[in-house]
Structure formats: structure tokens, C-alpha cells
Amino acid sequence: MLTRRTFLGRTAAGALGMTALDQLLAKGMVTPLHHKPTAKRVIFLYQAGGPSHLETLDYKPRLAEMHGKPMPESFTKGQQIAQLQGKPLICYGPQLGFKKFGKSGQELCELFPQMGSVSDDLCIIRSMWGEQINHDPAHTLMNTGSILAGRPSMGSWVLYGLGAETEDLPGYVVLMSAGRGGQMQPIAARQWSAGILPSKLQGVKLNSIGDPVLYIQNPDGLGAELQKDTIGAVGKLNQAAYKSLQDPEILTRISQYEMAFRMQTSVPGLMDMSTEPKSVLEDYGATPGDGSFASNCLLARRLAERGVRFIQLYHRDWDHHGGVKANVALKAEEVDRPTAALIRDLKQRGMLEDTLVVWGGEFGRTPMSQGGDGRDHHIKGFSYILAGGGIRGGITHGATDELGYAAVEKPVSVHDFHATMLHVLGIDHLRMTVKFQGLDARLTGVSGEVVKEILA
Amino acid sequence: MLLFLLCSSLALLAQEPVRFNRDIRPIMSDTCFRCHGPDRSSRMANLRLDIREEAIKPNRRGLAPIVPGDPAKSHIIQRIFSDGGNVMPPVSAHKTLTAAQKDTIRRWVAEGAVYEGHWAYEPVRRPAGNASIDSLIRARLAKSGLQPATEADRRTLIRRLSLDLTGIPPAPEEVDRFVNDTAANAYERLVDRLIGSQRYAEKQAMHWLDAVRYADTAGFHGDNPIPAWPYRDYVLQSIHENQPFDQFTREQLAGDLLPNATPKQKTASAYNRILRVSAEGGVQPKEYLAKYGADRVRTTATVWLGSTLGCAECHDHKFDPFTAKDFYAMKAFFADIKETGLVPDRGPKAWGSQLDLATPEQAAKRAGLKKAVDEASAALAKHRGTVEELQKRNAAGELRWEYQRPVAASAIKAKLTIHNDAKIPGTELTGNGLVVASGPNPENETYTITIAPGAGRWAQLGVMAVQDESLPGLGVARGADRLMISEVEAEVQPGGKKLRFATAASGVGFYNLDQNPMNAIDGNPATGWGGSPYHDGMLPFLALRLQEPLATKADTRIVIRLRQDTPYRKATAGRVRIALSPGLAAPIMDPQSKKHAMVDQGLPAAVTAALKKTAIERSEDEAALIARVLDWTGEPNQKQVAALQAAQAKLDAFTFSIPRVLVTEATKPEPTRILARGNFMDETSPVVEPAIPGFLGRLPVEGRASRLDLANWLISKDNPLTARAYVNRQWRIFFGTGLSKVLEDLGSQGEWPVHADVMDYLAAEFMDSGWNRKHLAKLIVMSETYRQASSGTSEQDPENKLLSRQNRMRVDAEIVRDVALSVSGLLTEHFGGPSVRPYQPEGYLAALNFPKRDYSATRGPDQYRRGLYTFWQRTFLHPSLVAFDAASREECTMNRTASNTPLQALVLLNDPSFVEASRVFAQHTLQQSPAKTGEARAGWAFRRALGRAPNAEELGVLAELYQKALRKFDSDPAGAAAMLRVGDAPGLSGANAAELAATMTVTRAVLNLHETITRN
């Protein structure tokens, strides 16, 4: 048996080569799976910027009563704080109304009626907490389980463990859309990097402007036929080199060129939404080609159908230091309908049962006001939604304290969330490790427990 | 496990006794030390197995974990062979020992359980006698019954040497010369020539820059450009001049502390400052200072000690004898670096301590230019008018800007739409003369706008660039992060008289030095006026003062041309207004409002507000603003205004040409506390003084030890790690893998080097030669081991750890580019200088913000520089480099992976840089291939790229591709023309387009071959 260690790090060609690794990666390193999975793939609707849990998923009437009063020091003393450093900490009541939805009676902000309409399929976690209070490190923790740059993102880990179910598309795809109203925080490419894992496991960003995949377009004037002939000729020459050198790395090169050509052929079909019925476009609220969150949700379903393992949609602009009321309303317009449509669409196609859908960002926002009408970054308590893929629908898990400050009931750490995600995919987070700097690196660092209560 | 099997099987074959470092430590480190190793906090059963005295000590029940010589009585043997619930390691650890591993441990105990100190921490021992790389490796091979491979053929050798030493493949003439050179020292002369070249420094620098995480941007948040490239040039020079590695070390860690530090030594100290820093508003200073300190410890420990000291930030190291205290004591060395947690990324305090790299001559020249500005300024102030007079003229309407309502507007490619009474798209405001560009967006462009001012008398022409969110980047230009107007020209109709401008000024408070307003009337297309406003709320406004007032009649037209001919691509204005002033209105415009249409304006609101106050009430800024307006608007001052603007333009242009670089500036050290579990908010743990890791000794220093003391220890003979770590990394450059494979960790979780004696031999040579880097490299490449053929495999040693042959490697990301550029004849070789921007897909930086960014690929010869010089944007590294596994350099990186992916295929096939290379390659092929058939051309190109002639089969494949392409392009001239348009490089005039496009198809295939990007 070969250990992973043998493969990682720079493998000199001609030694064991990457071909053997490629074969293993195509299947995934976790074979057989550690246990029976309940999900085959993940669609992560990443709400970047830090959505206010207090205006979306975590209603706090007591905070409304305290509105305008100083935040009790017992909550905030000795805690981390971002832009409110050195400023008075004043309670800021929930700015939007909440309503109970569905049979389960789950409580969501009333501006999210569509998501409310599928609330019986949603598991709302109200007790998430994190460690990093600024965007960039918080994204890095949420995506890689570590605050150091260079660790693999969760999508890369999943692909490493399970391999892909497509040979025509990358197994890990990233989409991005921009919203209105907030501060558009930057998002580094590190967030979908494969880090210390082989770079073929990195997320491939599908763009709404320009070529959907970088360099997918043939040079002007060449034409598909001559591209095919060229790749054919390159393949023959590489094959001839293989005959004399017997270097398996050359075979890998040949197959990568074939895969590249298949991607060139299949990506246009993937992006072409003209085959989608008008009713579907309407349900999502998607206008093909506009690069909106709605279009990306629809694209996510199409990617899922084609066997992509991990699909991550970033929707930016949840950073509401000011105008949280008006800005969450804008976000609701952008995400409520498409999120619900995606869940309905997956369900109707029988795919929700083996697709884990995740909705959430890098942190939440303070119960204290910033600048009179906004909220600062907050890591002690925030909310997430999980759905499908073996997660119990219609339940709310955990709770923050009465002011929505800290997760006090059944707190769920980022590592717990990662452990749970891997669990539904059939992976024991303790056992999927890779040697790095002398340690058995894993997505969950040195902690993390599966949140068993939310499993169906 | 494979590694273990290999080592142990090789060992067993040779009937050698078990050795702790080679055989036992790797097993125990992986499976036992986590709970029974150095970390006190996670130790179980109060048992440690990493120290012999502890491991043989009986416990309370009299059981000894290890009884030397007696496996049966040794408790650990019972436990690891147990098949019950008490098996070690426990099931919960997810670690299992193989039968062979268990057996090795038992044999080791039986043989007396002899411990060895960890090999990497033992003093470097030069092997006895006349040892050399080859003698040591061959002895080891012989023990295992392996034969070294024969020497590679000369074509392979010169290509291998050239790629390893310089990153540039040899030209066919070089190959022939070497193949035919019968002199005994032909190989050595080749080595000397390559090592002496600047290319050698470029190749070696590339690896060093990964290690010290050199990049051109800050890495966090807005990821804005940092002044760092002069440090890269320092590294290049140092390697080229073969500066001894000990001095290289001292200068980087503590160049600022050296007596009479030179600018070069201070530049080297940028090493401490080129780490990732954040300018995000909500940064908690203590948290980020902790991050910066930890980065320096991780990087320094990895680069010089080959150790993962970073693990000890939160706890004692689990496998090596580093303690958390060692981590913080190391961090304390860097506590004197002047810095802030939030590092401003713009404004006068941007990036903290910097060094101005003016030479003495430049400094003198600059002082002269500055003096001229001061004098012009003083001369101007002499005639300063009064506030009363100003107000009087303002009331009379002389100081007004009147927006003009154009009657025509056109561009070369773009579509210009005039919004006079029409609403501005997306608003309820009338345009009032707004000109909006849409449609095609060429790289250079000229707008021609005609205004009809009516009867009047005018003293100034104004151009306002209107910011809008719909525009990319900073919202002023159509496709770049800056606006550039290289020249403003105007003529009067009828008659065609050209307007002549006396001077130019800009209302932008803070403009970049290369965007001086005078650039718009200097007649030089390469320079321009513009702005890159970033949250400063100012409107870029250019005021051009006429040499003599212009009288217009009712039917007079003024035709204004706004040219964008600078090298910045697509830096063309997105929205403009033209204004005229009857008098000497100030070049300052009130900010644009979303609610109110722009209306003709007198004194700016800020001036009016300041004037309402008494002189005593005014702030310094307000007083300065009023003074500036008085000077600019005063009738008698016009000659002095022009003189000042001209002097300032000269100063700006010259200052812009002088580089700056981040440097280390020492200040009073902050106390360094141990942070329990790395928590920056915990202030309960003790303060530590700077110290080297305790188990490696103590610095013989009185008082507080400095960074210089640390550097001196790192390169002292007392420290065995620096030379080993460096030698190991050099080995990777020449063999594809280190003598110990885990380059960043020579510790107990690293890999015991099969050829430990070679490592020690090289480490001793390196130190004894006076840390001579080129000597070390030459020693390695001169060896017969290096010169072996790379073909063949060995079942006994599949990973080729024993080196019975060379390895094959794909070249690194930058070299993939260098190969294509050099083979095609496009490469611009220039040693050092500011980083450059290769073509990059549009929208690639869309996820960046603060500010929003667009990209303007470098023009001219600098487009074709080596990959090393690529602008290293940490959060969005150039996608072609990412595809080929270049490091983002957010963290210190020792070991790039070498993957093989479809995205690499797409880069080589379709990235315009590579497509353009194939075009220029084809042009050269057409010009230089002696025979003009497709087959001959294919053969010429093949040989140019690979240094060997194609065989018949290979030639056949390429000839067939040529014919197919020729048929296609013969019948598709538009396609051929489109193919040949790629990139900026000049085409080949007079060539048959179909033949050239067909040849390009062949050269493109050649650039895509596995062999092209591989060194054998």
C-alpha cells in the first residue's frame, strides 16, 4: 500500500509519477468510504461579508427591548472587537420583523418568505462561532479550517477524499456574484486553493464576464477542428516520447490534454441556459448571463447534475457596517428567491436527498450598533443553514444568548461544521489526513465534532 | 510507509544493524511521539520514548517500557504486538504499525535499543578521507547492489544544465558547439559560463524568493502594491556577485543594524518587512502584530533552520525539542522592528518605514529641482492678492467654470453620447454636457468633442473626468485602474487656429507623481495627466490656461481632442465634461452629488466656507487652500504660476523615477510575552528575552541579543542546521527532490536522508568554502551522479532515493514561460527592475476591492520579461503561474508541487502570451529555416525548442499537422488573419498569411509538448 505521503511534495517525474496518484485522485483517496454517506455533493451558498444573524435567522426580542441602552459589560468584557474598538457599545434592536414559517414553525426574517416556504427542509444552526474577526482571515478559517495561508480549502479536501463524478468538468467549481449596498470586501483566490494538496484539486472559478473558464477559448481564427487536430498531434508526439522513455508522467500529460479538450467542448453547453424552461428561469429569478446570484444558483444545479462534487457560490456584499436595515433588504431581494428555488428544484429532481446545501458567511454581526444604523463584525455567535443530504429539515439547532451575542446552547465551531459536512459525505474527518510539516494535517485542525443531532 | 519499506529493505538486504535515526525515529515520530514525546501538555501515562533514560525507566509497577536487549520484557513490544484492546498505538489514534515496522522495533530493542541524537541536530561531520558526492553515493549504491546509470548524452546534458542553472534552454548552436567540443574540460567550461551568467542569478533568485515569501502586494484585504522589488534586485545582485551566504544572511535579517549600513544592506533588511500585512479598518493591532511576529519566526526558522518552529506558537513542539518559549524567544529578536498592526496602504504613511534609493547624484539633482519649486512658490506668494479682491472678482463672475454643452462628439472606435438636456442614464439628473463613452474599448483612443460656447471671452479650458460606478476599476477610466489623458489639443473653427496653453493644473488633491497635469500639454504621448482617486471624493479636473484670452462669436466652435496614447491600456476616460472659464477660476471642483446636477460653479464650496471664517478660525488646511486659490487666480501672477507648474512637473517626473523600498527600522523593542495557545489577548504569561532555541545552545551575548546576534548564530559553526537546510534545497534544484525530501522540516517528522553523509559532506564544503554558493552549485553539477542519464526505473528503488540515475522534472511555472519566450525569440532579457504585467484575462481581479482593480498589461519589450519579474499579486497571482504551481508567497514556501492538470493544457494552448510566442516563433521559423517546405520548417522549430532533431515519426506528425492547417488557412484567410493578430509583437510583413498561420499551428504544437516543459 502506498501512503499519501509518498505522493505529496514534489514527485520527481519518472519515479512513481503522478499517474498512479491521478488514478487514486480520480476515485478519491477515501476508498472505501469511512461509512455510508448521505450526501454525494455539496452546494455552498456562501454569503460573504458577514450576514447579520439578527436580521436574518436569529430573532432577539430582548435585544429590541434593550435598544439604545448600553450593552451590558458582562457580555463584552475582554472580547474581541473590530471597528468598534474604543467606541461606546450600544444595543441595537433587530431592524426587521420575523415570522414563523411552515409546519415546523421555524422563525426567519419576514423579508425571506421564499426561504421560509421551504423551512421544513432547512436546518437552521443558531449557535455558530468563529475565531477570526476580520474578513480575510475569517474566510480563510471558514474555507480551510486554518488561519495560515496555504492549507487546502474544504472543496479541495472533499475532492481529494471522494474524487469527481465527471471527466468533462472540474470537480470543484467556484462562482461569484456581487450584490448591492454594502462594502464589497475582496475575496482572495486562496479561498479555493488546493494549498498543500495537488493543484488539480483546486477550485476552478467559472466567470460570468469573459471566458467562463480561463483560457477555455481557442485562439481567434483557429477553429475547433484545428484545435482538435493540434491536440491530436501533441498527443501523438507525447505518445512517441512515452514509447522511448516509459515515463508515466507523459501519459498523464496526454490525458490532461484530452480532459482540457473535453472541458472546451462541455463548458459552452453547461453555460447555455436556453434549454431551461421559462418557468424554471422565473422560479429562480434568473436572467441567463447576468452573473447574478440567481443565475449562479441555477448554474449550480446544472453543475450538480453533471457530477461536479463541490460547488461554491460566493455572494458578496453582506458587510453592513452601516444601513443594516436597508442593506439586508437588498440582500433579501437578491438571495431569498434563488436559494428557495434551488432547494425546490433539487427536491423536485430527487437530488436534494444526496446534495448538502449550505447557506452562511464568514461571521455574523454585533448586537451593538455601529454608526447608529449598522453592525460590526462578530464572531461569538452567528447563524447557518444546512439542507438536504442527510440533514434533518425543519429544525433549529442551538441558540445564542438573549441578546444574540454569544452562542450559548450547543455551540457549533467552524471545525464542528466541517466535521459534520465531511460526515454526511461518508468521511471521518479524523481519518482524512495529509502529512505536512511533520503533522497529519486535516480540514478540522486539532478539534471538531460531528453535530449528530442534526443528522436525519 | 513506502519510504520505510525502502529504507528498511535496503538496510535488511545489507544485513546492517537497525539504526535509530534511519529506522526507528521515523516510525516513532509518526506513531508514538504525539503522546509520548516532547510536548508535556499532551503526554500520556507520563511516558516519553524520545529520550532513552526515560524510555528504560521502570514505572511504579516495575515495568520498563524498553528493556535493552530483551524485547520480551519490554512493555512497548508487548503493547505494539498486542491484538487486544490495549494495542499501541490505540485505535483512536488512527495510526497502525505494519508487521515490518513492529519487527524492526523488536530487532532494535534486541540489539540494545541504541538511541542516536536526531541527525539534523548533531554537528556537521565531514566524511573521512577523499570523500566526494560520487564516492559516497556509489558506496551506498554498491551496498544495495545497484549500478549507477551511464552519463547522459551531450544534448540531454546541456539542456539539463541550462534549465537547472539558468532556466533558459540552450539554442541549437550552443548544443552543437557543446556536442562537438572535444576538449577534456568542455563540460566544466559550460558549467562556468552558465553559473557566471545573470540568468543563473535569476533562476536561483526564483527559489530564494519563494522561501522568503517575496511578493509585490500586501496580501491581506485590498492587497495593494508594496514597494518591494528593489529587494528582489538585491537578491539578484547578491547571487550574481556570489556574495557569501553568511553575509547574505546578516544583511537580510539585520542589514539595518550593521555598522555604517549601506543602502544595499538596508534594502536587504526588507526581508523582515515583505510579509503579509493588513490595512483593513477593523484590525485589532495586537492581533496583527502577533501575526506578523509569528510569520517572521515561521519564515526564519524554515529558511535557515529547516525547522517547523511555527508549531510551537501554541504549544511545545510535539516531535522536536522546540518549546513554546523558544518560539516567543525567537519572536523577541524581531520586537525592535518599527511597525503598526494596521498598516496603511495609502497616503503619506503608507507601508511604514521605507528607504529612498536615490543615488547621491540623483539626490543632489532632486534637491535642485525641489529648490526650484520652492523658489517658484515663494516668487508666486510675493504677489498674493487679498481676500477682498478675490471675493469681488468672484461676485463679478470672473471665477466661474461654465459647463459646455457639446454639439458633436466622436471617437476612433468608441461611441460617444452627449447628454445635454437628456437624463444621465440611471439617474433623474440632466446631463448638462456630460459625454458618455460606450461600445468598443480600444487600448488607445482619442475623443473629439466640439463645443459651441457662444459669444464670449475665455481664459481657461477645463476637462472634468466624471467618476461613475458603472466604470470598472476606480470608476474613472473604461478599463484600467487609472485615467490617462496624454494630450489635450484644441482648435477654433472656423479658421482652424490651434489654441496654445500657458500652463496646466489639476484639482485632484493627491495625484500620482506620474500624472502631473503638465503631462497633458507636454507633447509627449507616453506621459499623461489623470488620476486614480480612491475614496478621496475629489473630481479629477484639469485646468488649462490659455496663452492669450480667446474671443468667441456666436457661431464659433472649439474642437477639442482628448488623446489617450500612453502605454496604459484602456486608461481612456469613461465620462467627461468640458468647461470654459472667462477668467482665472481655480482648478478645484465641488464633489459630484448623486442628487444635484452639476451646475456652473464659482469659488469651490470649501473655499467659500473657509472664507466665512476669520483668519484665526481657519485651520491650516483651510488657510493653505485660500492661499493656493489666491495665488492661482491673481491676474499679475500668471508668469509665476506657469513657472511653478513647470518646476513641479520636472520634480515629479524625476522623483517618480527613483525607487523606494520597504526597510527595517529599529526602535525600542516591545516586551514579548508568551501567548498561551497563541492567544493575543492573553497577557498573563511571562515576558521572554530574545534567545535561540534552548536545546541548540545559548548566545554568548551580554544584555539583550539583537537580530544581528541571531544572524551571526544562524551562520556560525555551532549551528548545524543552516548549512544542511540550504544544501538540501540546492539539491532539490538539481535533482527534483532534496536529499531529505521534506525541505521545510529536517526535524523528526521530516525524512532521514538515505545519503546523510552526502548532506554532511556538502554542508561542510559549503561552510568551509566561506559559504560560497556558486562553489556548492558547481560541486553538485560537476558530479557524475548529476550527469547520469535519467532513463530507466528500478524496482528495488522506485523513488530513486539512492540516486542510481537522474530524475526527470517538469520545469517550474516561471520557467514554463521563459522556455516559450526564449525559444520563440520573444524574450527580453533585462536584469532586475520594476515588476511587469504579462497579458491577463479581463475580470481576473474582479473579486478585489479597496480599491477596485483593473489590469493594464505592460507594453513594449517589458511584456516579454522572464516569469521571475511578473508582478506578484499575492491574492490573485497571474493565472498561468498558478496553473503551474507557482507559490502565492503568502507564506514561506520550500517545496512547490509539480502537478499535471487540464488547466495547464489550457494555458499552453490558449493563453495569449503562449499563442503570441507561437506566432513569433513561426515568424522566426519562416525567416530562418533554410528550406521552405512545411516539413523543413517543422523540423527547424522542433530542433529550436528541444535541442534535437525530430525522428521520422515525429516529423511526420508535424508535417501532417502543417498540411491540415495550410489547407484550412488557404481557404480561410480571415481565420489566418485573426490568428496572426494575437499579441503586441510586430508581425512579419510580406509573409504568406496562410503559410505563417500553418507554421504557427506547428510551433504552437511544439510549445505544448511534454518534452518542451520537461528537463530530462
Q: How far is B956 from chain A (nearest CA, A)?
A: 10
Which residues of chain B are within 8 Å of residue A209 when distances are taken between CB atoms? 842-843, 846
Chain A residues whose CB is inside 8 A of the B309 CB are: none
Chain B residues whose CB is inside 8 A of the A11 CB are 737, 898
Which one has a higher pLDDT value, A439 or B861?
Answer: B861
A256 chain-B contacts, CB cut-off 8 A: 900-902, 904-905
Sign of the torsion formed by the C-alpha atoms of B921, B927, B928 and B934: positive
Mean pLDDT of B14-29: 82
List the grid coordinates of A169: 468538468
- Which stretches within B769-806 are classed as H helix? 773-782, 784-787
Stretch A115-133: mean pLDDT, rounded?
Answer: 97
Closest CA to B460 of B583, B362, B332, B570: B583
pLDDT value, residue B30: 85
- A223 and B975: CB-CB below 8 Å? yes
Looking at the complex, report in whole angstroms how far the Cα of residue A78 sits from the nearest Cα belonging to chain B.
Answer: 8
For B819, phi then psi, to 5°, come to -60, -50
Residue of B nearest to A446 (CA): B314
Model confidence at A14, pLDDT cuts 50, 70, 90, reads very low
- B467/B591 Cα distance (integer angstroms): 10
Class of residue B44 by CB neighbours under 10 A (exposed 0-12, middle 13-18, buried 19+):
exposed
Mind telling me how many Å the CA of B644 is from chain A's nearest CA?
40
| pLDDT tens for each residue of A47-60 | 999 999 999 999 99
pLDDT score of A151 more than 90: yes
pLDDT for res B8: 43
Q: Which three cell numbers stand for residue B74?
A: 519490554
pLDDT at A8 exceeding the cut of 50:
no
Predicted confidence at residue B405, as pLDDT, reads 96
Cβ-based contacts of B850 with chain A (< 8 Å)? 186
In this structure, the number of other CB atoms found within 10 A of the CB of residue B549 comes to 12
A370 contacts A54 by C-beta, under 8 angstroms: no
Return the pLDDT at B765: 97
Q: Residue B415: which H helix or E strand, with range?
A: strand B415-419
Torsion of CA B588, B593, B596, B602, to 10 degrees: -10
Among A10, A234, A246, beta carbon nearest to B737: A10
HEC per residue, B859-906: CHHHHHCCHHHECCCCCCCCHHHHHCCCCCCCCCCCCCCCCCCHHHHH
Q: Which residue of A has its CA nearest to B957?
A: A233
Residue B343's SS3 state is coil
Q: Compare all CA atoms of chain A with the CA of B308 and give the residue at the minimum distance.
A: A437
Q: What are the strands, taking DSSP E only, across B509-624?
A: 541-552, 557-564, 575-581
Locate the DSSP E strands across B421-527: 434-438, 445-451, 456-465, 487-493, 497-498, 501-506
Res B59: pLDDT: 82
Higher-pLDDT residue of B362, A18: B362
Asked whether the predicted pLDDT for residue B304 surpasses 60, the reply is: yes
Could you give the percent of chain B with pLDDT greater than 70?
97
CA–CA dist B942, B959 (Å, integer): 11
Q: How far is B393 from chain A (nearest CA, A)?
A: 42
Chain A hits for B874, CB-CB cut-off 8 Å, are 188
pLDDT at B84 over 90: no
Quick check: B744 and A437 CB within 8 A?
A: yes
Q: Look up residue B507 and give its amino acid.
A: G
List the single best residue of B288, B892, B900 to mutate versus A (max A Cβ within 10 A): B900
Answer whether B249's CB lies under 8 Å from B711's CB. yes
pLDDT of A4 > 60? The answer is: no
Instruction: Mark out the alpha helices in B559-656 (DSSP H runs).
Output: 605-612, 620-633, 638-656
Contact between B282 and A85 using a beta-carbon 8 Å cutoff:
yes
Q: What is the pTM of this model?
A: 0.91
Pick from B319, B843, B958: which is nearest to A207 by CB?
B843
Residue A154 CA: distances (Å) to CA of A194, A353, B961: 9, 21, 43
Evaluate if residue B535 carries a pLDDT over 60: no
Could you please report the per-residue DSSP string of B356-405? E---HHHHHHHHHHHHHHHHHHHHHHHT---HHHHHHHHHTTTT-BEE--
Residues in B closer than 8 angstroms to A78, CB to CB, are 681
Helices (H), B931-992: 934-946, 952-971, 973-980
Element spanning B186, H or E: helix B186-195
Query: What is the least distance, in Å, from the CA of B888 to any CA of chain A?
Result: 8
Residue among A415, A284, A298, A395 at smallest CA distance from A340:
A284
What is the residue-averaged pLDDT of chain B? 92
Instruction: Select from A11, A83, A236 the Cβ nearest to the Cβ of B281.
Output: A83
Q: Residue A175 corresponds to which cell in the numbers above?
A: 462562482
Sign of CA dihedral B130, B132, B134, B138: positive
Whether the per-residue pLDDT at B5 is higher than 70: the answer is: no
Q: How far is B961 from chain A (nearest CA, A)?
A: 7
List, in sequence order, every residue forming a beta bridge with B448; answer none if it has no partner.
B410, B561
Strands, E, within A340-402: which ranges? 355-360, 364-370, 374-378, 382-387, 395-397, 399-400
Angle at B531 between CA B528 and CA B533, to 5 degrees: 170
CA distance A428 to chain B (A): 11
CB contact under 8 A, B807 and A12: yes
| Amino acid at position A111, single letter | L
Write the DSSP string, B275-295: S-BB--TT--HHHHHHHHHHH
Q: What is the mean pLDDT of residues B572-597?
A: 86
CB contact (8 A) between residue B282 and residue A217: no
Reported as half-sphere exposure (CB side, CA atoms, 13 A), residue A276 has a value of 23
Q: Is the pLDDT of residue A410 over 60?
A: yes
Distance between CA atoms of residues B979 and B919, nearest Å: 8
- Quick one: average pLDDT of B555-562? 98
Considering CB atoms only, which of B793, B879, B976 is closest to A221? B976
**B737 to A238: CB separation less than 8 angstroms, yes or no:** no
Mean pLDDT of B530-555: 83
Highest mean pLDDT among A165-174, A408-417, B387-396: A408-417
Is residue B652 pLDDT above 50, yes or no? yes
pLDDT band (50, 70, 90) for residue A12: very low
pLDDT given at position A182: 66
Pairing state of beta strands A172-177 and A310-315?
parallel
Verify whether the Cβ–Cβ distance B897 to A219 is below 8 Å. no
Pairwise CB contact (< 8 Å): A190 & B888: yes
Q: Which chain A residues have a beta carbon less than 8 Å from that of B978?
A: 220-221
Q: Flag if B810 and A249 touch (Cβ within 8 Å).
A: yes
Task: Tell me which residue of B866, B862, B857, B865 sits closest to B814, measured CA to CA.
Answer: B866
pLDDT at B536: 52
Predicted local confidence at residue B930, as pLDDT: 92
Going by the DSSP 8-state scheme, the letter that residue B733 receives in this structure is H
- Residue written as grid cell 465531511: A422
Burial of B74 (0-12, 13-18, 19+ CB in 10 A): buried
**Using 50, 70 and 90 to split pLDDT, how confident is the model at B537?**
low
CA distance A97 to A373: 16
CA-nearest residue of chain A to B744?
A: A437
Out of A149, A221, A264, whose CB is closest to B978? A221
Q: What is the pLDDT of residue A26?
A: 66
Task: Give pLDDT, residue B13.
Answer: 45
**First and final CA of chain B: distance in angstroms?**
28
**In what helix (H) or strand (E) does residue A57 lie, and over which residues does it extend?**
none
Contact A6 B3 (CB under 8 A): yes
**In Å, how far is A204's CA from the nearest CA of chain B?**
9
pLDDT at B422 over 60: yes
What is the pLDDT at residue B12? 44
Q: Which of A25, A167, A437 to mutate to test the interface with B (most CBs of B within 10 A)?
A: A437
What single-letter DSSP state applies at residue B788? B
Residues in chain B: 1016
**pLDDT at residue B533, rounded to an integer:** 63
Flag if B1001 and A222 touch (Cβ within 8 Å).
Answer: yes
- Tell me, what's the pLDDT at B168? 98
Q: Which amino acid is at B722?
A: T
Residues of B within 8 A of A50 (CB-CB) are none
pLDDT exceeds 90 at position A373: yes
Identity (one letter) of the amino acid at B572? Answer: T
Which of B847, B910, B1011 faces A218 most closely, judged by CB atoms?
B910
CB-based contact B506:B628 (threshold 8 Å) = no
**pLDDT tens for each residue of A414-432:** 999 999 999 999 999 999 9
- Cβ-Cβ contacts under 8 Å between A and B: the total is 302
pLDDT digit string, tens, across residues B180-199 = 999 999 999 999 999 999 99
Average pLDDT estimate for A428-441: 88
CA atoms within 13 A on the CB side of B335: 22
Per-residue confidence (pLDDT) for residue B472, from 0 to 100? 79
Measured distance CA(B515)–CA(B528) in Å, rounded: 6
pLDDT at A73 over 60: yes
Residues of chain B with C-beta less than 8 angstroms from the C-beta of A250? 1010
What residues of chain A lie within 8 A of the CB of B311, using their CB? 437-439
* A252 → chain B, closest CA residue: B900
CA distance A121 to chain B (A): 32
- B280: nearest CB among A134, A190, A209: A134
Cell numbers linked to A438: 511533520
- CA distances (Å), origin B490, targets A176, A328, B559, B652: 45, 50, 5, 26
Is A241 in Cβ contact with B957 (below 8 Å)?
no
> Which of A15, A221, A433 has the CB atom closest to B799's CB atom?
A15
pLDDT average, residue stretch B863-876: 98
DSSP state of B23: I
pLDDT tens-digit series, residues A315-341 = 999 999 999 999 999 999 999 999 999
Verify whether the Cβ–Cβ distance B741 to A216 is below 8 Å. no
Q: Is the peptide bond before B851 cis (omega within 30 degrees of 0)?
A: yes
pLDDT at A5 > cutoff 90: no
- CB-based contact A220 B911, cutoff 8 Å: no
pLDDT of B770 above 80: yes
Cell numbers placing B779: 560541486
10 Å CB burial of residue B71 (0-12, 13-18, 19+) is buried
Mean pLDDT of B706-724: 97
CB A90 within 8 A of CB A71: yes
| B1011 compared with B46, residue with greater pLDDT | B1011
Q: Which of A404, A383, A446 is nearest to A129 (CA)?
A: A383
pLDDT at B43: 87
